[in-house]
Amino acid sequence: MSKVINNENVTVNVHNPGELVSDWKTALQYLKDGNKRYLEEKTIARNTNAEDRAELKSGQKPFAIIVTCSDSRVSPEIFFDHKLGDIFVIRNAGNIADSTALGSIEYAVEHLKSPLVVVVGHSCCGAVTGAFQGGEYPSNLKTIIDEITPEISGCGDVDEAIHSNIDSVVKKIQENEIVKEMGAKTIGAYYDIESGEVKFK
């Protein structure tokens, strides 16, 4: 943990790029604190400069793995108010855990020792809406839709489907052998693109 001064001259605790966080609760608190700063428009003025890159050139110790949507309104470094070296991010349309996403998670929990995985779905998700409504899609996009569709069967509306998709991705990651072996915690979260708030499930 290191201390920085925010734009209101208040000291806040943040992750130091050289700090290995092994406790998922500490990691979760960093994310909660960051989203609070973002909501209150008290983000920390720092980054991204040569000093940061110099500190990170010898390695990375991201305290959390974030699986989220590629949607341009859903950028985790921004809504968690974190910077280079802090979070290991996997993004695809619909925040699914396909084999490449799982492989990336395995790498981060095993080699970078990240203790926390957070699956962040979001309001107005186009991928989940596409799966909910059904239809014809080109083959690669269909791969994503087909991954989501069975997880949202029975949902009454798109928002329910978004939550159901988050829960199923969390479950899939929790069942991963490497994640289990390394003892990483996996939780879900929902990002509201209008309010900017992340609600952890």
The residues of the shown chain that bind Zn ion, judged by CB under 5 A, are 69, 71, 125
| Coil, strand or helix at 156 | coil
CA distances from 102 to 80, 89, 99, 158 (A): 22, 12, 5, 25
Q: What is the identity of the amino acid at 152?
A: I
Nearer to Zn ion, 33 or 98 (CB): 98
- In the chain, beta strands by DSSP E: 2-5, 11-14, 64-68, 87-91, 116-122, 185-191, 198-200
Shortest reach from residue 162's CB to Zn ion, in Å: 8
In the complex with Zn ion, the residue whose CB is nearer, 24 or 191, is: 191
Closest CB 147 distance from Zn ion, rounded Å: 13
CB of 50 to Zn ion, least distance (A): 34
Nearer to Zn ion, 71 or 151 (CB): 71
Do the Cβ atoms of 193 and 121 come closer than 8 Å?
no
Q: How far apart are CA 166 and CA 152, in angstroms?
A: 10
> What is the smallest separation between the CB atom of 39 and Zn ion, expressed in angstroms?
20
Of 71 and 106, CB closest to Zn ion: 71
Q: How far is the CA of 101 from the CAs of 34, 41, 59, 169, in angstroms? A: 24, 31, 21, 11
Give the residue among 79, 34, 95, 97 at the shortest CA–CA distance from 193: 79
Least Å distance, CB 99 to Zn ion, is: 20
Q: For Zn ion, which is the closer residue by CB, 175 or 192? A: 192
Between 69 and 169, name the residue whose CB sits nearer to Zn ion. 69
CB of 179 to Zn ion, least distance (A): 23
> Cα Rg for the chain, rounded, in angstroms?
17
